[in-house]
Structure 1
């Protein structure tokens, strides 16, 4: 099933993260596009991921072959580039070149490598990949249970969202164990994954009547900008609460409701062929969005080392370098590795 607008939404999520991190680093316009705003892009990523998995898999029979195809597709999508980035970050941090060591993810030793590759920790923006992997496993279990316990998915979704809405959602462990860094970020993102899964299941069962649809609903994209912490505070005088090591944004049910509602409007109420959501640029950036997400942070760190992260010109340079690096990564590594892993499902000849 092809839902073309998801490509552009994926690209927008990546750009929210990229521009937000640059804004924080360069203090562009007093960091109005940063100040934890990149987390909105990650929230959109989580909604998209769970929605797409539900649409693609939930109505299929979860037999051994289907589960194998699912596992290979998910592994091919995420693992090769993540593992390469983790190992390269460690290796380049050891070469003795100060600016280079300061331009990679903070993975100082074998214990940090082990925690990353065991998907129990992620440095800087890498925390989202263990969260994604954990949800893949949760989804696989729920999918497998569905024909055996038809109420498993509704009960799970209801329990997660009810506990989250109650204000007692767990933060998860933060202290290292025997020197191994530990963080279970799936707890941070699980309500968003569940919301995306619920919207995906609804998409398979119901479509909005044609009279409800209108291209004007694409303006819902602008509502994401209004949710940016710095903008939201200036407009309303209210703060998301930025203190502490764990961002309160992940524990605000109204924010989950708002992001889910925006996603629902864009998927259900905007007609097919909308020129804002369906175009070649969105398709292309959506395809390379995973590389953009993983590679942008080292690019930004390197630019900071050379004093290039300044002003709008620096932002354009940052986006250009990131898109170029991501294009090369996608063409020569990410996509070939994905296809190679998926090919393991092909029948022997």
Structure 2
């Protein structure tokens, strides 16, 4: 990857630079998630399996661990935005939690409504387990609040659980930083948050992640997320090499212990991704060159692809079931069609739904914040450099 250092292109314009490895990982993981759901839910894959049974079986079962890539990257980027230096303290935790909700939920709810309509349409042409029952208002409300898993409502769309877990993990990170600032008081403790993260990783991997009953809650997934957090802190170029390696070992040793206790391929993948981010996650690349342009574009729309691919795949499955012969070659082609349409739909969803909704919510939030500034308030207290309200 080419490191950017004041690069320019065109008529003196600065070249746009992005975290190339992150976009590469997000782009690849998103494709595997789409293919996993295509193979797992069928019915096109049921017919296509006769052609490549080993591949379809792998996609149906093992490819789902690609979601670990998003969990680790989520922790990496959360540390970047919330605590780039690894120090405790966060002045306005509720504001940060709200901003994360506003980033995730509007597009997610729009995709959930689309999935509900797609299920109803697909039910006219086929009968299959992948079609959800008509969504109730209570079910949609639980999805809007990102509480569907916690409240026991079935997901309307595949992958809906991840959005709720991402929000929980981010909120947990914010609250941990806020409490850490209170604990520090006037005595800055540079080791507090790395130790807290390492403890959280250990507790997750040696206890919570071994019990599937916790899989609707953040602690089940914090092992992977926390390794991403530690990868950002350890990769800080201002740190001495020995200190950086020690921080990374604090994240990876619990993973090794957890794998020794019970091997889980998803945790092994998370450890590998965290190690890659530690080594190369901050390297930036320009968008020059066709390959990196495609990679960065796919990384940019990965959340939209993740949200919208299931209803697209469901409808393509229904069309090929109703109107096309159940020949393995034709049904395999249908899977490729569904994959391509999912990427196209993701690009359109990002441009016309996710991005506009994000700008709208940001504008509303900023306007509310500006009005709040003019409301007389008592002077806030300060503890250890952290403003409390």
Q: Shared fold (TM-score greater than 0.5)? A: yes
Aligned residue number for residue 79 of structure 2: 54
Q: 1:160 to 1:8 in 2, by over 3 A?
A: same
Tell me what 2:275 maps to: 264
> Which residue of structure 2 aligns with residue 194 of structure 1?
226
Change (3 A) 1:78 1:168: closer
Residue in 2 aligned with 1:326? 346
2:318 aligned to 305, 308, 318, which one? Answer: 305
Q: Once the two structures are superposed, what CA deviation does each residue of 1:113-147 show, in whole Å capped at 9, x if it has no partner? A: 23323323162321111111111210110122233
Distance 2:265 2:319 in 1: 41
Q: Secondary structure at the match of 2:60?
A: coil
2:360 alignment counterpart: 340
What's the counterpart of residue 222 of structure 1?
none
1:116 aligns with 2:143: yes
**Does structure 1 residue 80 correspond to structure 2 residue 106?**
yes
Write out aligned runs for 1:69-148 (5 A): 70-71=96-97, 73-90=99-116, 93=119, 98-99=124-125, 106=133, 108-120=135-147, 121=149, 123=155, 124-148=158-182
1:90–1:113 contact (8 Å) kept in structure 2 = no
* Alpha-carbon spacing, 1:62–1:327, altered in 2? closer, same or farther (3 Å): same
Alignment of 1:210-225 (within 5 A): none
Tell me whether 1:19 sits opposite 2:46 in the alignment.
no
Worse-superposed segment, 272-281 or 252-261: 272-281
How far does the alpha carbon of each residue in 1:256-286 deviate from its partner, in whole angstroms, 9 at most, with x for none?
2443224422551486549999711111111
Stretches of structure 1 that go unaligned for 5 or more consecutive residues are: 175-182, 210-247
Please, which runs of 5 or more residues in structure 2 have no aligned partner? 1-16, 184-188, 242-258, 322-327, 372-389
| Superposition deviation, residue 319 in structure 1 | 2.1
Matches within 5 A, 1:156-171: 156-166=196-206, 169=209, 171=211
1:202-213 paired onto structure 2 within 5 Å: 202-204=234-236
For residue 230 of structure 1, what is the aligned residue in structure 2? none
**TM-score normalised by length of structure 2:** 0.65
Change in 2 beyond 3 A, CA 1:90/1:304: closer
Count of residue pairs brought into register by the alignment: 299
TM-score between the two structures when normalised by the length of structure 1:
0.71
Structure-2 separation of matches of 1:93 and 1:316: 20
The structural deviation recorded for 1:163 is: 3.0
Deviation at 1:53, TM superposition (A): 1.0
Q: Note closer, same or farther for the CA distance 1:137–1:105 as it changes in structure 2 (3 Å cut).
A: farther
CA distance in structure 2 between the partners assigned to 1:277 and 1:8 by the alignment: 14
8 Å Cα contact 1:73/1:338 also seen in 2? no
Q: What's the secondary structure of 1:184's corresponding residue?
A: coil
Separation in 1, partners of 2:36, 2:115: 22
**Would the aligned equivalents of 2:33 and 2:63 in 1 still touch at CA under 8 Å?**
yes
RMSD value, Cα: 3.7
Decide whether aligned partners of structure 1 residues 281 and 336 sit closer, same or farther in structure 2, where only a CA change above 3 A counts.
Answer: same
Q: Secondary structure at the match of 1:328?
A: helix
Q: Name 1:42's counterpart in structure 2.
A: 67
Provide the rounded CA distance (Å) in 2 between the counterparts of 1:165 and 1:152.
Answer: 20
Is the Cα–Cα contact under 8 Å of residues 23 and 34 in structure 1 kept in the other structure? yes
C-alpha change, 1:83 and 1:188, in structure 2 (3 Å) is same
- Rg comparison, structure with higher value: 2
Q: How far off its partner does 1:98 sit?
A: 2.2
- 1:209-267 per-residue CA deviation (whole Å, 9 max, x = no partner) reads 8xxxxxxxxxxxxxxxxxxxxxxxxxxxxxxxxxxxxxx9xx74564244322442255
Mapped to 1, the partners of 2:207 and 2:289 lie a distance apart of 37
Q: Secondary structure at the residue paired with 1:114?
A: helix
Decide whether the 8 Å contact of 2:204 with 2:221 is kept in 1: no
